[in-house]
Structure 1
């Protein structure tokens, strides 16, 4: 007598782009890992920059945005030129189609909205550097990665930027 294996539920597969959260000064390993993942899967890479100083006026990620501080800059600045140049340098020579999109608002919410809007297969973010200012920011606001993996039905890949593993840790 042979057993017939139970049918497996259809896997969703990865067909949408890989969405990676980017910011100025971010460690290059985050974008590099996302790019290699996208290239290996034959998917587009969408780099998303969330500007916390603006909010989405109509609820869309790429739509009109207004500054939180009405006395601040009159219009959202979009993606900083320095970040565009850094990404172009990091992704040059890699066999991956990529784009960059400006988002408005709190990064985890903005990334989640964008992932849903573009039908992303996965969201990639990095951990924070081991610095006192990052620790204070995480203690008060929480981390983008933590917010995402608790509130998403998409896979969230968290790339360690500079892991601290004790020498005696097996």
Structure 2
């Protein structure tokens, strides 16, 4: 099940139905293992699942008192975030087909850690599930400047976070974790 959050009153009603949810952060091409773990915990906790995609090309301009977020694009190519969300929503629908859980997809904007934290607060989420970043020099540089979403979540809110490892494990005897 997915929703299209279109009005503030619709979002408030949906948030009420999603209280105590498990939130999973998802990007296009996300490793299936992250979603599988989120589903497993949603079942264990008898909770709905919220698939959250954060559009980092937009920023929050203001928020209404009822929680409805207004945003503006950082870049002229403002369709990129919408296309990414559509891809995430389609991938989630494919991965969750037959999962027999209540789920929805949400598009968030701005800083990933802060956006997920805010959603978790609105839903009084029981758990946040994120994947580790992919290995590589580009991701290392990005993380150097922006920080790890999982680490930033761990330091900025009180909910439990499940960090799901992605890709190949680094052998214990390998000194360099992120080779070129």
Higher helix fraction (1 or 2): 2
Mapping of residues 117-128 of structure 1, within 5 Å: 117-128=122-133
Change (3 A) 1:31 1:62: farther
Is there any run of 5+ residues in structure 2 with no aligned partner, and where?
A: 1-18, 175-180
Could you tell me which of 45, 53, 68 is aligned with 1:41?
45
The answer to whether structure 1 residue 59 and structure 2 residue 63 are counterparts is yes
Could you tell me which of 93, 102, 123 is aligned with 1:97?
102
How far apart, CA to CA, are the structure 1 residues paired with 2:42 and 2:171? 32
Deviations, residues 13-33 of structure 1 (Å, cap 9, x unaligned): xx7000111111211111110
Is there any run of 5+ residues in structure 1 with no aligned partner, and where?
A: 1-14
State the match for 1:31 in structure 2.
35
How far apart, CA to CA, are the structure 2 residues paired with 1:30 and 1:122? 13
> Which TM-score applies when normalising by structure 1?
0.81
CA RMSD of aligned residues (A): 2.4
Change (3 A) 1:166 1:96: same
Larger Rg computed on CA atoms: 1
Mapping of residues 89-168 of structure 1, within 5 Å: 89-166=94-171
How far apart, CA to CA, are the structure 2 residues paired with 1:75 and 1:163? 29
Pairs aligned (count) = 154
> Which TM-score applies when normalising by structure 2?
0.77
